[in-house]
Each structure stands twice: as C-alpha cells, then as structure tokens.
Chains A and B, each alone.
Chain A
C-alpha cells in the first residue's frame, strides 16, 4: 500500500523556520518526482515546489522562492521542505504528492501537515 506521511508542522512565529518531512512507502520513491502543495484554511490548492527523482531539477512558486528549500533523501525515502522567514500567509495545510516519472499528474498524496504562522 502506498503511503506518504508528512510531519514537522506546528505553530511558529513570523520570521522563524520550520522543516517538514514526508516519508514514503509502498513504491519506489527514487523513481518519482515529488511535490509540496499547500492549502490555506478554506482556500484552494497552491503548488509550492517540485524536485525530480534525482534532485537534478528543482522548481518553486514565486511566493516561496528564496525562503523555502525542497530536498530529498532517496536512501531514507524522505522528502523535505525547509521553510524560513515564515509569514502569516504561509499558514496552510501542506501536502506532499508524488509525480510519476515522465508523467504530469500527482498520483499519490499524503494526509497533510498543518503549519500555522502566528505570534
């Protein structure tokens, strides 16, 4: 059974940092590109970042570029999102989602982890 399990969320003050993790199981993690997508309370989905299977290609949304860093450890089947200089507008449920090699769609999603930025 495919599973993506996010962790590391919580309440953090503006300007501080937080690191999210997403542990994958049930599929060959190293063959998949991975994404972070977020959803502010009561709002729609916003793509945040993508990393290719071998970390050669990395892309960010403009809203997080320069503040967030996506990375992965294929030996540990784990995806990360290092978030710095957090703002209130970063408050959201953060999902990790896999992307099949050579395909465009996000086939598996985690259950999400909540990040709240507030003083």
Chain B
C-alpha cells in the first residue's frame, strides 16, 4: 500500500503568510495526487487535482507543486475562510490513501 505522510498536523498562520502543507508518498504516484479542504460539518471539497491543476471555482491563492515524491499545497495570503482541515489523496493505486490531514487556523 502507498503511504501518504502529511505534515504538519496543524498550523496557525497569519493572513500575511504563505502556508505550505506537504504530503510525501512512499513511492511514485505519477501525479495522481489531489488536495481537499474540509470545513466543520461539511463534506470535503476538491482544491487541486493532478498535483498542480486548480479545480473550478477555487481561488488562485491556492496552488500545488511536486518535488520528487513530495507534493505541496501552498496558500498565498490566506483568508479567514481558508480555515479548515486539508487532506491529500493518492489515487494512483488501490487502496487509495489519504494523508492524515492538516488543521489550519488563521489568526
């Protein structure tokens, strides 16, 4: 099974910062990597797909990148509405696996 090691588990950021969340895959996943945002009491929402492509309607302050088997989600100048839990997902091979999640708090 492919393990997705996500970090950090939580972070508190100011509105002027650049927030970076990473997921390291235990093996190559050919960019079958997507990012989701989940707000309390809501279902996850797609942010980034194919590692770097922005989903429809997602603000341009969100971006995705890859370096080797490490994938990153960057939020530039986050807004208060960006608070929530962020998950990565590898869908390269079954069992599909999510990262453990990163709880983002904006201060």
Q: Residues on A close to B: CB < 8 A? A: 35, 44-47, 50, 59-62, 95, 99, 103-107, 109-112
Kindly provide the distance from the CB of A40 to the nearest chain B CB, expressed in whole angstroms.
12
- Could you name 13 residue pairs across A and B whose Cβ atoms are closer than 8 Å? A44-B87, A45-B36, A47-B89, A95-B43, A103-B49, A104-B33, A104-B50, A105-B46, A105-B49, A105-B91, A106-B34, A106-B89, A111-B43
Chain B residue contacts of A95, Cβ below 8 A: 43-44
Q: Which residues does chain A contribute within 8 Å of B32, judged by CB atoms?
A: 104
Query: Contact at A109–B98, with CB atoms within 8 Å?
Result: no
Number of A-B contacts (CB under 8 A): 60
Binding site for A on B (CB under 8 A): 32-34, 36, 38, 43-46, 49-50, 55, 87, 89, 91-92, 94-101
Report yes or no: A104 in contact with B92, Cβ–Cβ below 8 A.
yes
Complex Cα distance, B34 from A110, in Å, reads 18
In the bound assembly, the distance between CA atoms of A35 and B34 in angstroms comes to 15
Bound-state CA distance A106–B90 (Å) is 11
Q: Which residues of B sit under 8 angstroms from A62, Cβ to Cβ?
A: 95
Q: A109-B44, A109-B45, A112-B43 are in contact. Are A103 and B98 (CB under 8 A)?
A: no
Q: Is A107's CB under 8 angstroms from B55's CB? A: yes
Q: Which 6 A-B pairs have the closest CB atoms?
A: A104-B91, A105-B49, A104-B32, A105-B34, A59-B94, A47-B96
From the candidates B34, B55, B100, name the one contacting A44 in the complex (CB within 8 A): B100
* Complex-state Cα separation, A17 to B97, whole angstroms: 26
- Which residue of the partner chain, among A46, A99, A110, contacts B98 with CB atoms under 8 Å? A46
CA distance A99 to B43 in the complex (A): 15
Q: A44-B100, A109-B44 are in contact. Are A61 and B95 (CB under 8 A)?
A: yes
CB-based contact B97/A47 at 8 Å: yes
- By beta carbon, the residue of chain B nearest A109 is B43
Q: Are the CB atoms of B95 and A105 closer together than 8 Å?
A: no
What's the least CB distance linking B53 to chain A, in Å?
9
B101 touches A44 (CB 8 A): yes
CB distance from B69 to the nearest CB of A (A): 15
Which A residues lie within 8 Å of B43 (CB)?
95, 109-112
